[in-house]
Amino acid sequence: MNKPVSGFYQALTEHFPSIRLLTDPAKLLTFGADASFYRLVPALVVLAESEWEVQLILSEAHKHKVPVTFRAAGTSLSGQAITDSVLVISNKGWMDFELMNGGEKITLQAGVIGARANKALAPMGRKIGPDPASINTCRIGGIAANNASGMCCGVAQNTYHTMDSIRIIMADGTLLDTGKPDSIESFRASHKHLLESIKNLTERVRSDQALVDKIRHKYRLKNTTGYSINALVDFEDPVDILAHLMVGSEGTLGFISSVTYNTVPDYHHKASAFFVFPDVATCCRAVTVLSHAPVSSVELIDFRGMKSVIGKPGLPHFINDDLPDSTCALLVETQADHDQALSHQIKDIHQLLIHFTVLEQVDFTRIQSEYEALWAIRKGLFPAVGAVREKGTTVIIEDVAFPINLLTEGVLKLQALFKKYRYSEALIFGHALEGNLHFVFTQSFESNEEVRRYRQFMDDVAQLVAVEFGGSLKAEHGTGRNMAPYVELEWGSDAFKIMKQIKHLFDEHNLLNPGVILNDDPEVHISNLKPMPAADDLIDKCIECGFCEPACPSKDLTLTPRKRIILWREISRLRREGSTTHDQARLNELEKEYSWHGIDTCAACGLCSQFCPVDINTGELTLKLRAEQAGSSEMVAKWCADHFDGTQTAVRAGLIASDITQALIGSDSMVSIFRRLRKVTGNRTPLWMDAMPKAASLKSLVTNTETIQDVNSPKVVYFPSCASRNMGPAHGDFEQEPLADVVQRLLKKAGYQVIIPDELNNLCCGQPFQSKGYPDIAREKGGQLHQALMVASDNGRWPVISDTSSCTAQQRKSDGNEFDVYDLVEFVAHHVLEKLIINPINEPVMVHIPCSLQTLEGNGVENLKKIVSFCTKNMLIPEDITCCGFAGDKGFTVPELNESALAPLKKQVPENCREGVSTNRTCEIGLSHHSGISYHSVAYLLDRCTMTN
């Protein structure tokens, strides 16, 4: 930490808790990357949670002359969210939003994820205009600061054009809210010189007709290269101009605190089609025709793009190796507010395409599963390249726009450049209606020759797009460091001087994200390149995009999957290459940090893989590392597995003793005793909590194969997990029956005869051993269970039901299942509900969807929601909670993880709510503890609401 940053840090310590001023080298390293191929490790990371704190940060930055960079989600693709100075993170404290005028407007703080905004607007049939591919991860601050767009957004619906007002903190710490007249008037008085300078700048631009014409031409295209100087010709009031200059400024002019959007319609009637044309020219002519059609999106995919996804499930049969290399395809979507209008639009589109030669097609389909399969082609292009890249390389996705009338030639010349520079895997796709093309290729930066090849390629791309075609070098990904050397080439010296003057007016001392957008270093785009060393086959495909981060339960406690991978890559590199004393010291420090941050606090829930473009499950790395660290503890695990009946008896005895003690001394005393004990032992003893379950009764879990008499009645094998066999309801739960009794009663209400496997108390799916890092023991226990279920199911004749979703997932991972293993909610939703008479309750019910159910094949999430919707019309699924973080027994051994993951829960529980439901017994312990209501299996709710049909 240099002297200015050190002084800045000391000033902040008087106002910020130390937990929000990060100086630890390991954590700083993990903040050194965004989704681009650059790395700059910050000297200090500040977690800011309010406007006042940002104002303080800017004030102190000015005093100490310290550069500051703002960051929301860090999904930036051009290197605009990294710094070697002070990085200010604005997400956790910036999550509020407000709906207005029936959803026609929405005010969103900087930390709101784009998809969260659309979820809030969906009931009103509205959405925000920008629709970037990263919308499930990126946040409003970044969307506005980069003027992000997307597949359906086009030019008209980006932030610049749909913004109603904006709330800004200027470089000097002044707050301006353009939605409040009193704020505007105050700003006019305090910043008269700035507004006059903007007015003068506007007059200067407008006096140059050639420059005005260039600006209008450039912004008919998608364009995020440089500043949004179209504001100088689009608006009269300097305040309006200032507000729109902030859009796309990438944190170089000020801090965007919130944006109020004019929302756009979100049509529910949709249809998509896929057309393959014989060549690029035919395809691009079709795009020109479709630009006048009632289409919401037209995505172009070149022949390499189509061939990259060959073999993926659900593809049209004609996407195969026989597809000619000259072909080019369009994926077309049309939307309407009612079905009849949609039919007319489809007819109009067909009429426009009737004169074009189409080699293959999938005609318009309105069936969701079918058009989603078509869009899976488009979404699979980026990961397809990432999945085949060599170790040590990164995936680069560039983003240009051509005038629509030059699209054909643009595609062909880009393909020629790929050939010239030996990017044989490169493919092109993009938002064809705007002439916006993405091209994806793999690149190594490990040698000077490779860096030189990349630079020469980009020089040629810049000449082709910006000079020869008058297009945009950055259509929607932002300028960043990546295109900073080419801004003057694209815009010309006059416009470039205007941009430099804007920067000086807003940020006189060049302290806001310096080096981004405007940079005098011609080699900034090939400097500070991100190392991508091989670390492990499980994670080497990671491109550090950050899409995984919102799903991670430890994101606010320690690390996210992206950060775990960044740290593990550095550890692996140091193990392999570190030779100096300094290297060894650094390695020891990082390994120590990783033990807690990377392994102990990882829930290994696998949710990261659901959002990862290349399907990486960072939890698998965690499990592998746990297995490597198992050591002598594996002998204890082996003994427990071999004596599983006795182990369970001991567990139940402990729960009985715990319940008796609780009854004698009370919950508060129990909690206090165990907290003190945990503190004294250095967190080595587990935490006891007030939702601790009682021991479950085993009376109904007897081998009953011989009692199955009716050969005509349907039969099911019911396997209660070890968690539900041992853990009954909590002491304070209003439901007190063992889960196994309730499940059997439900199945019998539906007319099923229930078979319980023999020697049940010795059976386990192996999941507890797998999660602890004992895969061999897990396989052994899984094999024992498989044999027992084969016998119970009459060699697969009867379906098997598991009452715990994590147990179901573990069984389905086992090899050689000759029988169907149903999760309880899956079987109930498809085979039980229809056989019951259901009397719904009038109470709200909280619903937690466990990570194991989210990752389970078979649409378990919708199955659970379906069951609850039959039981109550007031189903509540809390926001901002993914995995609960209990993770088997980590709720007891690492309670911080469970507490952090469920921090948003309690405030979302309505006052008149007494019940929550889920599908994992251990999850329900933590949920009950942190919500203040009783969580139990959804089976209890359904049983309470049903009678026999």
pLDDT of 96: 96
- CA torsion, ordered 362, 366, 369, 371, to nearest 10 deg: 40
Distance CA 148, CA 126 (A): 18
DSSP 911: T
| Cβ atoms 470, 213 nearer than 8 A | no
Rounded mean pLDDT, 420-432: 94
The whole-chain average pLDDT of the chain stands at 94
Query: In 3-state terms, what secondary structure has residue 287?
Result: helix
| 3-state secondary structure (DSSP) of residue 16 | coil
Give me the pLDDT at residue 815, please. Answer: 58
Confirm if 381 and 305 have CB atoms less than 8 A apart.
yes
- Label the pairing between strands 436-444 and 427-431: antiparallel
Q: What is the pLDDT of residues 312-321, one digit of tens each?
A: 888 899 999 9
Which neighbouring-strand residues pair with 39? Answer: 33
**CB-CB contact of 258 with 107 (8 Å):** yes
The answer to whether the beta carbons of residues 93 and 880 sit under 8 Å apart is no
Q: pTM to 2 decimals?
A: 0.94
- Confirm if 908 and 901 have CB atoms less than 8 A apart: no
Q: What is the mean pLDDT of residues 583-595?
A: 94
Write out the E strands in 58-138.
Answer: 68-71, 86-89, 97-100, 105-109, 126-127
- Enumerate the β-bridge partners of residue 196: none
pLDDT (0 to 100) of residue 622: 97
Residue recorded with tokens 């930066």: 445
Query: What average pLDDT does the segment 544-552 reach?
Result: 95
CA atoms within 13 A on the CB side of 803: 28
For the packed helices 181-190 and 192-206, what is the interaxial angle rounded to 10 degrees? 90
388 band by pLDDT with thresholds 50, 70 and 90: confident
pLDDT value for 498: 98
Q: For residue 811, give the nearest of 757, 770, 854 by alpha carbon.
A: 770
Cβ-proximal residues to 78 (8 Å cutoff; 6+ apart), any chain: 36, 474, 477, 478, 479, 480, 481, 482, 483
Stretch 676-691: mean pLDDT, rounded?
84
Tell me which of 591 and 682 has the higher pLDDT: 591
φ, ψ for residue 660, nearest 5 deg: -65, -45
CA dist., res. 704 & res. 406, Å (int): 75
The pLDDT score that the predictor gives to residue 710 is 61
CA neighbours closer than 13 Å in the CB half-sphere of residue 490:
32
Q: Of 391, 334, 399, give the one whose Cα is nearest residue 152.
A: 334
Lowest mean pLDDT: which of 472-481, 797-806, 852-861, 910-919? 852-861
The whole-angstrom separation of Cα 726 and Cα 653 is 10
The closest of 670, 740, 699, 696 to 929, measured between CA atoms, is: 670
112 pLDDT band (50/70/90 cuts)? very high
pLDDT band, very low/low/confident/very high, at 249 (cuts 50, 70, 90): very high
Structure tokens of 183? 């704020």
CA 288 vs. chain centroid, Å, equals: 34
Residue 172 pLDDT greater than 90, yes or no: yes
* CB neighbour list of residue 442: distance below 8 Å, 6 or more residues apart: 385, 388, 389, 390, 393, 394, 395, 396, 423, 425
Residue 709 has pLDDT above 80, yes or no: no
| pLDDT tens track for 497-524 | 999 999 999 999 999 999 999 999 999 9
DSSP-derived secondary structure letter, 531: P
Percent of the chain with pLDDT over 70: 98
| pLDDT above 60: residue 216 | yes
pLDDT in tens, 823-850: 999 999 999 999 999 999 999 999 999 9
pLDDT (tens digit, 9 = 90+) per residue, 711-720? 678 999 999 9
What's the pLDDT band for 817 if we cut at 50, 70, 90? Answer: low
Residue that has been written with the tokens 């105050």 in this structure: 186
- Per-residue model confidence (pLDDT) at position 713: 81
Cβ(881)–Cβ(901) below 8 Å: yes
Predicted confidence (pLDDT) per residue in 600-648, tens digit: 999 999 999 999 988 999 999 999 999 998 877 889 989 999 999 998 8
DSSP letter, residue 834: G
Contact call for residues 110 and 141 (beta carbons, < 8 A):
yes
pLDDT above 60: residue 708: no
